[in-house]
């Protein structure tokens, strides 16, 4: 059996942006297969009594996060624009991602959404932005219909419930069976564990 991990991400998550832009190359170098799993942090935060991102609830934490993101993005050569209305509503993009990930170019679409939001400051709740991301990934614009498809809505709810059942509390998270690795800084550890588990 090939070494594999699950990559759980929310499009509104800044640190998920960092992981999304490097996980493909990192996993390939490690010989690990990645399953991309979009989910929503909103219901998980709500279960903790939070009405928004902890980066908004705790201003000092939020200020640090943007400073940290600026340092990390500069080090990795990634553009960074603080989008308006953080955290953005990634619901429609996540539904479309479930459809896009049925294609080989699914990860490219996900990267395009992150790049549009955090690299360009675009509003990923808008269908025009999502359509442009589909085009960047060379995927058909017809996939945009997944945003309103009852089956995709149910699938995203189920994916979010699966994340809750695993005990996920933030994004990005990487899982290997029931083992959870949380945060972009744990990606390499998760990949190493997947390789060790296979060996």
Active site residues per annotation: 13
CA-to-CA separations, 37 to 11, 70, 84, in angstroms, rounded: 11, 26, 25
Cβ-contact 31, 1 below 8 angstroms:
no
CA 83 → CA 40, 42, 181, 190, distances in Å?
18, 18, 27, 29
CA-wise closest residue to 118 among 170, 78, 174: 78
> In angstroms, rounded to a whole number, what is the distance separating the alpha carbons of residues 108 and 61?
30
* Rounded (10°) CA dihedral 155, 159, 165, 168: -160
| Burial environment of residue 1 by CB neighbours within 10 A (0 to 12, 13 to 18, 19 or more) | exposed
Place of tokens 């990923």: 124
Q: Is the peptide bond before 73 cis (omega within 30 degrees of 0)?
A: no
């Amino acid at each position: 059996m090939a070494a594999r991990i699950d990559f759980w991400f929310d499009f509104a998550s800044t640190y998920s942006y960092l992981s999304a832009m490097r996980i493909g190359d990192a996993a390939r170098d490690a010989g690990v297969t990645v399953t991309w799993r979009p989910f929503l942090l909103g219901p998980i935060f709500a279960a903790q009594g939070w009405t928004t991102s902890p980066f908004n609830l705790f201003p000092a934490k939020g200020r640090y996060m943007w400073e940290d993101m600026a340092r990390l993005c500069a080090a990795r050569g990634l553009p960074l624009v603080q989008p308006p209305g953080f955290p953005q509503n990634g619901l429609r993009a996540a539904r479309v991602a479930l459809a896009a990930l049925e294609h080989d170019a699914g990860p490219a679409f996900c990267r395009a959404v992150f790049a549009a939001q955090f690299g360009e400051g675009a509003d990923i709740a808008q269908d025009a932005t999502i359509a442009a991301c589909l085009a960047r990934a060379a995927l058909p614009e017809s996939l945009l219909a997944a945003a309103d498809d009852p089956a995709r809505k149910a699938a995203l709810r189920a994916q979010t419930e699966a994340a809750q059942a695993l005990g996920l509390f933030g994004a990005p998270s990487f899982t290997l069976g029931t083992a959870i690795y949380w945060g972009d800084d744990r990606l390499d550890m998760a990949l190493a564990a997947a390789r060790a588990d296979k060996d």
